[in-house]
Amino acid sequence: MSLEYFLSESNQLTVISLNGEIDDSVSSVLERCSGETLKLAPRAVVFQMGRVSEVARSGLRPLSQFLKQLKDRGATLRFSGLDAKAKELLLSQGILSTGEIKESPADAIKEAAEIVRPKDRK
**Which stretches of 11-120 are assigned E, i.e. beta strand?**
13-22, 44-55, 76-80, 101-102
CA angle 39, 29, 31 (to 5 degrees): 45
Domain residue spans of the chain: 4-121
Summarised one tens digit per residue, pLDDT across range 49-71 is: 999 999 999 999 999 999 999 99
DSSP string, 28-48: HHHHHHHHHHHHH--SEEEEE
- Please report which confidence band the pLDDT of residue 19 belongs to, taking 50, 70 and 90 as the band edges: very high
Give the fold, CATH level 3, of 4-121.
Transcription Regulator spoIIAA (3.30.750)
pTM over 0.85: yes
